[in-house]
């Protein structure tokens, strides 16, 4: 009989958010796999949990994943935790869970804090339909394409972002998606917790003044009905063509889906943009 793999959520800042069940399960398993063992040791010490620890992070996933699966096959129970929040949500874990599921190893999720869900619940933006898209790409061209692909999504869009990229990402949101309503959920559950609400341009001003520090979730309200008409075809095409990953044909097809323009119009505009870029 194989052991169970527990995916255990831990606090995103406030230790009072640790669940009773998380403490019990971490205290019962044979092995805890942690993203950063030194970081997690502080959490485990706080709750008086003393268990064998092993690291499981992005760059050792293959090797460590195999060792963890081996322990599970031998009947040992393993808990996976990340530095903060829910493992597998923009954190390591997916590969391990996928492989455990493929082998028929029992997997149990032990829910708890997650920055995206906490941000959504306190944002005041519609929460009936939402998309969580993780971290935007760090390169500008890819980031713009990534945003352009989501211009027409229904509901609230949620992104994670590193503090040093926040200003650049807000600028691209403004250019690609327009001056929508957004919320920055900052330092959730911590002393300087704050929800900053406003138009993208207003929030950009606050960020430029250096007023937004620390960890942040970006929540973007859906575009107005007819957003496609206010988002010009050439802006969408420029974003899609920016990093050179898409052919003219593919960019034109995508832009026509996003904007509602006809494929022929989109293709003609893509050619015009490409030709004017070559002449510059
Ligand atoms: N797995 C985690 C979860 O469930 O929320 C997320 C891990 S991801 C590597 C880290 C990102 O989550 C940060 O860059 C930030 O965007 C967001 N985040 C984490 N803690 C946060 C907090 N206390 N307040 C706001 N955002 C937070």
Q: Does residue 108 register a pLDDT over 50?
A: yes
Q: What is the pLDDT of residue 147?
A: 97
Q: What is the pLDDT of residue 226?
A: 41
Virtual CA dihedral for 65, 91, 9, 74, nearest 10 degrees?
0
Show me where the domains of the chain are located: 5-113, 116-220, 233-279
Identify the band that residue 272 occupies on the pLDDT scale cut at 50, 70 and 90.
confident
Q: Does the beta carbon of 11 lie inside 6 Å of ligand 1?
A: no
Task: Give the three-class secondary structure for 62.
Answer: helix
Q: What is the pLDDT of residue 8?
A: 98
Q: What is the pLDDT of residue 280?
A: 67
Residue nearest to atom 8 of ligand 1 (CA): 90
Stretch 196-202: mean pLDDT = 96
Cα(226)–Cα(246) distance, rounded to whole angstroms? 26
Q: Does residue 254 register a pLDDT over 50?
A: yes
- Specify the DSSP element, H or E, that contains 161: strand 156-161
Stretch 115-120: mean pLDDT = 98
Q: Does the beta carbon of 248 lie inside 6 Å of ligand 1?
A: no
Please identify, by atom number, the ligand 1 atom nearest to the C-alpha of residue 113: 4
| Mutate which of 9, 85, 110, 134 for ligand 1 pocket (most atoms within 8 A of beta carbon) | 85
Stretch 52-77: mean pLDDT = 96
CATH topology of domain 5-113: Cobalt-precorrin-4 Transmethylase; domain 1 (3.40.1010)
- pLDDT tens digits, 141-178: 999 999 999 999 999 999 999 999 999 999 999 999 99
| Mutate which of 157, 217, 220 for ligand 1 pocket (most atoms within 8 A of beta carbon) | 217
Cα(277)–Cα(270) distance, rounded to whole angstroms? 11
Q: What is the pLDDT of residue 227?
A: 44
Give the list of residues 6+ apart from residue 63 with CB closer than 8 angstroms, or none: none
CATH topology of domain 116-220: 3.30.950
Q: Does residue 138 register a pLDDT over 50?
A: yes
Q: Does the beta carbon of 217 lie inside 6 Å of ligand 1?
A: yes
Residue closest to 80 by CA, chosen among 124, 112, 119: 112
Stretch 237-251: mean pLDDT = 86
What values do phi and psi take at 187, rounded to 5? 50, 45
Q: Does residue 229 register a pLDDT over 50?
A: no
**DSSP label at 222?**
P
- pLDDT tens digits, 206-215: 899 886 789 9
How many angstroms separate the alpha carbon of residue 279 from the centre of ligand 1? 44
| Mutate which of 7, 8, 12 for ligand 1 pocket (most atoms within 8 A of beta carbon) | 12
How many angstroms separate the alpha carbon of residue 213 from the centre of ligand 1? 13
Cα(271)–Cα(269) distance, rounded to whole angstroms? 5
Greater model confidence, 180 or 273:
180
């Amino acid at each position: 009989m194989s052991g169970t793999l527990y995916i255990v959520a831990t606090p995103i800042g406030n230790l009072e958010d640790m669940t009773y069940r998380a403490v019990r399960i971490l205290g019962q398993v044979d092995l805890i796999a942690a993203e950063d063992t030194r970081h997690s040791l502080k959490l485990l010490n706080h709750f008086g949990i003393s268990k064998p620890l092993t690291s499981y992070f992005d760059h050792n996933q293959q090797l460590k994943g195999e060792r963890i699966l081996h322990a599970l096959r031998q009947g040992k129970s393993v808990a996976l935790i990340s530095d903060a929040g829910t493992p597998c949500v923009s954190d390591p874990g997916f590969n391990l869970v996928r492989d455990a599921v493929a082998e028929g190893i029992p997997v149990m999720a032990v829910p708890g804090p997650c920055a995206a869900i906490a941000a959504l619940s306190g944002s005041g933006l519609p929460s009936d339909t939402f998309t969580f898209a993780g971290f935007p790409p760090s390169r500008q061209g890819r980031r713009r394409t990534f945003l352009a692909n989501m211009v027409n999504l229904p509901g609230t869009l949620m992104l994670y972002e590193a503090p040093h990229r926040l200003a650049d990402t807000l600028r691209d949101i403004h250019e690609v998606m327009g001056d929508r309503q957004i919320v920055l959920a900052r330092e959730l559950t911590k002393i300087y917790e704050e929800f900053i609400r406003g138009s993208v341009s207003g929030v950009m001003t606050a960020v430029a003044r250096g007023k937004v520090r620390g960890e942040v979730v970006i929540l973007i309200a859906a575009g107005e009905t007819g957003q496609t008409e206010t988002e010009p075809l050439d802006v969408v095409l420029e974003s899609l063509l920016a990093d050179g990953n898409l052919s003219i044909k593919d960019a034109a097809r995508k832009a026509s889906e996003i904007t509602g323009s006809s494929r022929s119009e989109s293709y003609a505009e893509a050619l015009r943009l490409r030709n004017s870029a070559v002449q510059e």
